[in-house]
């Protein structure tokens, strides 16, 4: 599956973002290490290939010399095969194995060693052909050493070739699948978090604007209530116009009407108990409901008459 556009199914949170970042760093570091490992194994494989070619050439030469020496032995001493098989009890060469580590890959290393307690009492060729038999023994001993070395190189070559294939597959998988997928996941989480931050900022801004509008509205209502509840200041007693004395003015008008002979008032007899009989005649005409007011008006009329 291609890594382009693919991502991991994770919930977009800051914790998952940190986890994905750590994974991305680890994947890149692993990719770098595996790439270096693949390069080291490839370089070692090329060196092994050169050594294998040289070992094969040496093995060809050694076996050619061995076969030529064996031909000389057969010519000088005849067929010595039954005699050799009869006299050999144990091998004079042993193969030791150790493990070599090449960039994390374990490869076996073989080495041919001569047996220390092996003492040869072989009297083959004592009568004839002894020199050719000793030469053939030495030639074939060298051939065994070359063969063991070639076996080590071939085994290491096969193991390293398989390790390079596995490492290359891992490098390609990290490069084309894992790293792009994690990178896409990180980008997705970042975009979602940015979108959430923008939504939160817009929500807070709308809420702040709404609160400001409510505050302005309440302030306007409070000002309107204060203006409606304000009491007008009292006017100055000096600057204000004098109040009209309604009762005094009515009395003066009544007195003026008596002196002028108004048609509204009727003349009262002089025995009414008042200086001005005309005003008492008005009292009888207006009725008992307004007597007190008219009596007050009469007293003011008397006072006004005396002042005039």
Rounded Cα gap, residues 282 and 256, in angstroms: 14
pLDDT in tens, 178-214: 999 999 999 999 999 998 888 888 888 888 888 888 8
pTM for this one? Answer: 0.54
User: Is a pLDDT exceeding 60 seen at residue 101?
Assistant: yes
**Confidence grade of residue 4 (pLDDT, cut at 50, 70, 90):** very low
Answer yes or no: are the C-beta atoms of 278 and 256 closer than 8 Å. no
Q: With left for phi above 0 and alpha for psi between -120 and 50, is residue 222 left, alpha or beta?
A: alpha
Rounded Cα gap, residues 261 and 267, in angstroms: 9
pLDDT in tens, 43-90: 988 888 888 988 888 888 888 887 777 787 777 767 777 666 666 777
Per-residue confidence (pLDDT) for residue 293, from 0 to 100: 63
SS3 content of the chain, % helix, strand, coil (to 5): 70, 5, 20
pLDDT in tens, 108-130: 888 888 775 554 545 555 556 66
């Amino acid at each position: 599956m291609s890594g382009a556009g693919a991502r991991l199914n994770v919930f977009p949170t800051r914790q998952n973002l940190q986890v994905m970042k750590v994974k991305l760093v680890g994947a890149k570091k692993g990719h770098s290490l595996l790439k270096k490992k693949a390069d080291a194994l490839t370089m070692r494989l090329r060196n092994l290939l050169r050594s294998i070619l040289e070992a094969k050439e040496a093995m060809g030469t050694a076996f050619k010399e061995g076969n030529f020496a064996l031909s000389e032995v057969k010519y000088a001493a005849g067929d010595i095969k039954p005699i050799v098989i009869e006299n050999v009890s144990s091998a004079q060469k042993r193969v030791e194995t150790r493990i070599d580590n090449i960039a994390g890959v374990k490869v076996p290393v073989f080495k041919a060693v001569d047996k220390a307690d092996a003492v040869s009492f072989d009297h083959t060729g004592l009568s004839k052909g002894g020199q050719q038999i000793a030469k053939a023994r030495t030639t074939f001993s060298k051939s065994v050493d070359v063969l063991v070395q070639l076996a080590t190189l071939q085994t290491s070559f096969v193991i390293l070739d398989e390790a390079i294939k596995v490492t290359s597959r891992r490098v390609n998988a990290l490069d084309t699948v894992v790293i792009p997928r994690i990178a896409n996941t990180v980008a997705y989480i970042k975009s979602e978090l940015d979108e959430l931050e923008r939504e939160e900022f817009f929500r807070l801004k709308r809420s702040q604007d709404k609160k400001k509008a409510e505050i302005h509205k309440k302030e306007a209502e409070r000002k309107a209530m204060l203006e409606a509840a304000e009491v007008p200041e009292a006017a100055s007693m000096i600057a204000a116009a004098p109040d009209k004395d309604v009762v005094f003015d009515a009395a003066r008008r009544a007195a003026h009407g008596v002196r002028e002979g108004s048609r509204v008032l009727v003349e009262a007899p002089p025995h009414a108990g008042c200086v001005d009989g005309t005003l008492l005649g008005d009292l009888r005409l207006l009725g008992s409901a307004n007597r007190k007011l008219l009596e007050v008006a009469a007293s003011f009329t008397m006072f006004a008459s005396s002042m005039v």
